[in-house]
């Protein structure tokens, strides 16, 4: 069977696992095309208006797979970690797709819910495998191999690779470094989709900056940074963004930090605010917030980015200048 995987949402986190699982069970995996204006437009046309940009884009990638595959894989993620949740938009995703898009092939829905126990996730994969024709023992074996592929991928990310490079098959070794490091905070489906992020990573590298992304920060560091907050964060991806941002700021690992956010994202609304407040109070590292939606254009985006880089470089070069206003004038 040809199984389509939409190149959107958590594709950037779990593609090695999903790809390996289905191929081990003898199926052919077909990924939707890279995002283009046509893919985004078809998502916008088929999705409800008030969904966020990444959900609209997911619809576009599903439409892109129609006619190319026998079934489309749609994960329903409720929780990826015990006692935590992820954005509710992931819970209703299969129903949104079914009600909004006509002419769909079969949907293969994975019910992924680790809220009580991680073993429930294991059971969900085995159940999914049997639903598409495998024996339970075959599904268990396929899951073991797929888990090994995913672990190898995650390890390379912790060593400094980005999902963008890994999924495009180009492992990077120290390129783009020299002028400094820019921390990027954003959901993977924004940062690593080159159309949506308007080539943010490539543009920074072209200006001589290396990037540090949330996937490069180890989970214990994220937990440690978030443990200092007055309340426990129960949104897993919100915690990841805030914890990795705080780790970058606290260790002064970056020369500047850019938040890439989607218009209408509830989680980003408070994560970005918290991170900016901590930064202003404690670290004062140059920062910029860039919010994207389906109307964002290259010109405005490039201007923001150029201004931010110029600001970092001017500040670096002229930090020692003393203002004419203050102690140097009035002397004491
Ligand atoms: S976390 Fe934000 S950007 Fe991601 S799906 Fe939810 S609302 Fe959309």
So what's the pLDDT on residue 120?
Answer: 84
Q: Are 214 and 244 in contact (CB under 8 A)?
A: yes
Strands 287-292 and 209-212: unpaired
Taking CA atoms only, the protein residue closest to ligand 1 atom 2 is 265
How many angstroms does the Cα of residue 190 sit away from the middle of ligand 1?
10
Residues 190, 101: Cα–Cα separation, whole Å: 23
Mean pLDDT, residues 186-197: 96
CATH assignment at residue 103: 3.40.50
Answer whether residue 228 is part of any domain. yes
Answer whether residue 264 is part of any domain. yes
Q: Are 101 and 136 in contact (CB under 8 A)?
A: no
How many angstroms does the Cα of residue 264 sit away from the middle of ligand 1?
8
Indicate if the pLDDT at residue 56 is higher than 50. Answer: yes
pLDDT class of 21 with cuts at 50, 70, 90: very high
Which residues contact ligand 1 via a Cβ below 6 A? 52, 54-55, 87, 89, 187, 262, 265-268
Of residues 250, 215, 304, 225, the one with CA closest to residue 13: 215
Taking CA atoms only, the protein residue closest to ligand 1 atom 1 is 87
Same domain, residue pair 184 and 311: yes
How many angstroms does the Cα of residue 323 sit away from the middle of ligand 1?
43
Indicate if the pLDDT at residue 81 is higher than 90. Answer: no
CATH assignment at residue 253: 3.40.50.11900
Answer whether residue 140 is part of any domain. yes
First to last CA, the chain: 81
Indicate if the pLDDT at residue 290 is higher than 90. Answer: yes
Q: Are 32 and 64 in contact (CB under 8 A)?
A: yes
* Probe residue for ligand 1, chosen from 6, 13, 54, 188 as the CB with the greatest number of ligand atoms within 8 Å: 54
Mean pLDDT, residues 81-100: 91
Mean pLDDT, residues 161-169: 88
Percentage of residues in the chain with pLDDT exceeding 70? 94
How many angstroms does the Cα of residue 17 sit away from the middle of ligand 1?
22
Same domain, residue pair 130 and 177: no
Same domain, residue pair 32 and 149: yes
Same domain, residue pair 289 and 235: yes
Same domain, residue pair 139 and 176: no
Answer whether residue 328 is part of any domain. no
| Residue-number span of the structural domain to which 12 is assigned | 2-158
Mean pLDDT, residues 268-294: 91
Question: Of 158, 176, 202, which marks where a domain is finished?
Answer: 158
Same domain, residue pair 136 and 172: no
Query: Distances in Å between the alpha carbon of 165 and those of 27, 33, 55, 173, 294?
Result: 25, 17, 23, 11, 24
Question: Of 105, 133, 158, which marks where a domain is finished?
Answer: 158
Same domain, residue pair 197 and 148: no
pLDDT class of 332 with cuts at 50, 70, 90: very low
Residues 202, 277: Cα–Cα separation, whole Å: 28
Note the Cα 233 to chain centre separation in Å. 18
Same domain, residue pair 185 and 267: yes
Phi, psi of 176 (to 5 degrees): 75, 5
Same domain, residue pair 153 and 6: yes
Answer whether residue 50 is part of any domain. yes
Answer whether residue 119 is part of any domain. yes
Average pLDDT in the chain: 90
Of residues 289, 87, 309, 294, the one with CA closest to residue 208: 309
**Which ligand 1 atom is at minimum distance from the Cα of 52?**
8
How many angstroms does the Cα of residue 158 sit away from the middle of ligand 1?
24
Answer whether residue 331 is part of any domain. no
So what's the pLDDT on residue 121?
Answer: 87
Q: How many helices (H) and strands (E) does the chain have?
A: 14, 8
Q: Are 219 and 244 in contact (CB under 8 A)?
A: no
Same domain, residue pair 173 and 53: no
Taking CA atoms only, the protein residue closest to ligand 1 atom 5 is 89
**Which ligand 1 atom is at minimum distance from the Cα of 90?**
5
Question: Of 133, 158, 183, which marks where a domain is finished?
Answer: 158
Same domain, residue pair 154 and 184: no
Indicate if the pLDDT at residue 84 is higher than 60. Answer: yes
- DSSP string for residues in 221-269: HHHHHHHTSSS---BHHHHHHHHHHHHHHHTT--SEEEEEEETT-HHHH
Looking at the DSSP assignment, which residues form a beta bridge with residue 258? 184, 288
So what's the pLDDT on residue 177?
Answer: 61
**Which ligand 1 atom is at minimum distance from the Cα of 87?**
6
Of residues 182, 188, 251, 265, the one with CA closest to residue 222: 251
**Which ligand 1 atom is at minimum distance from the Cα of 262?**
3
So what's the pLDDT on residue 176?
Answer: 52
Mean pLDDT, residues 114-118: 83
How many angstroms does the Cα of residue 72 sit away from the middle of ligand 1?
21
Mean pLDDT, residues 160-172: 85
Q: How many domains does the chain have?
A: 2
Same domain, residue pair 9 and 140: yes
Answer whether residue 220 is part of any domain. yes
Helices 93-100 and 53-65 pack at an angle, to 10 degrees, of 60
How many angstroms does the Cα of residue 53 sit away from the middle of ligand 1?
8
Residue with tokens 């964060």: 233
So what's the pLDDT on residue 316?
Answer: 73
How many angstroms does the Cα of residue 13 sit away from the middle of ligand 1?
15
So what's the pLDDT on residue 331?
Answer: 42
Taking CA atoms only, the protein residue closest to ligand 1 atom 3 is 265
Taking CA atoms only, the protein residue closest to ligand 1 atom 6 is 87
So what's the pLDDT on residue 218?
Answer: 94
User: Which of 59-63, 208-212, 325-329 is most confident?
Assistant: 59-63
How many angstroms does the Cα of residue 171 sit away from the middle of ligand 1?
28
Mean pLDDT, residues 127-135: 94
Indicate if the pLDDT at residue 170 is higher than 80. Answer: no
So what's the pLDDT on residue 320?
Answer: 58
């Amino acid at each position: 069977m040809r199984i389509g995987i939409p190149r959107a949402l958590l594709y950037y986190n779990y593609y090695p696992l999903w790809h390996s699982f289905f191929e081990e069970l003898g199926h052919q995996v077909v990924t939707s095309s890279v995002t283009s204006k046509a893919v985004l437009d078809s998502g916008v046309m088929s999705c409800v208006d008030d969904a966020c940009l990444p959900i609209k884009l997911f619809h576009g990638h599903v439409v892109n797979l129609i006619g190319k595959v026998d079934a489309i894989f749609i994960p329903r993620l409720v929780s990826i970690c015990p006692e935590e949740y992820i954005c509710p938009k992931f819970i209703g995703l299969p129903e949104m797709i079914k009600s909004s898009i006509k002419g769909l092939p079969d949907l293969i829905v994975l019910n992924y819910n680790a809220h009580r126990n991680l073993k429930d996730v294991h059971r969900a994969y085995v159940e999914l495998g049997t639903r598409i024709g495998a024996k339970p023992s075959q599904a268990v074996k396929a899951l073991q191999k797929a888990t090994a592929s995913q672990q190898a991928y995650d390890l390379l990310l912790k060593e400094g690779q980005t999902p963008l490079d890994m999924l495009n098959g180009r492992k990077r070794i120290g390129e783009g470094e020299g002028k400094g490091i820019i921390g990027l905070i954003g959901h993977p489906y924004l940062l690593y989709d080159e159309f949506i992020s308007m080539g943010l990573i490539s543009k920074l590298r072209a200006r001589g900056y290396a990037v540090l992304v949330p996937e490069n920060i180890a989970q214990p560091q994220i937990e440690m940074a978030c443990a200092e907050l007055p309340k426990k964060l129960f949104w897993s991806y919100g915690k990841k963004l805030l914890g990795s941002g705080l780790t970058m700021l606290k260790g002064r690992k970056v020369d500047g930090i850019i938040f890439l956010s989607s218009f209408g994202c509830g989680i980003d609304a408070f994560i970005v605010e918290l991170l900016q407040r901590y930064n202003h109070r404690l670290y004062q590292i140059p920062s910029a917030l860039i919010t994207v939606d389906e109307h964002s254009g290259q010109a405005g985006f490039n201007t923001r980015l150029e201004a931010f880089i110029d600001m970092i470089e001017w500040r670096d070069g002229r930090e020692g200048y003393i203002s004419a206003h203050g102690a140097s004038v009035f002397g004491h």
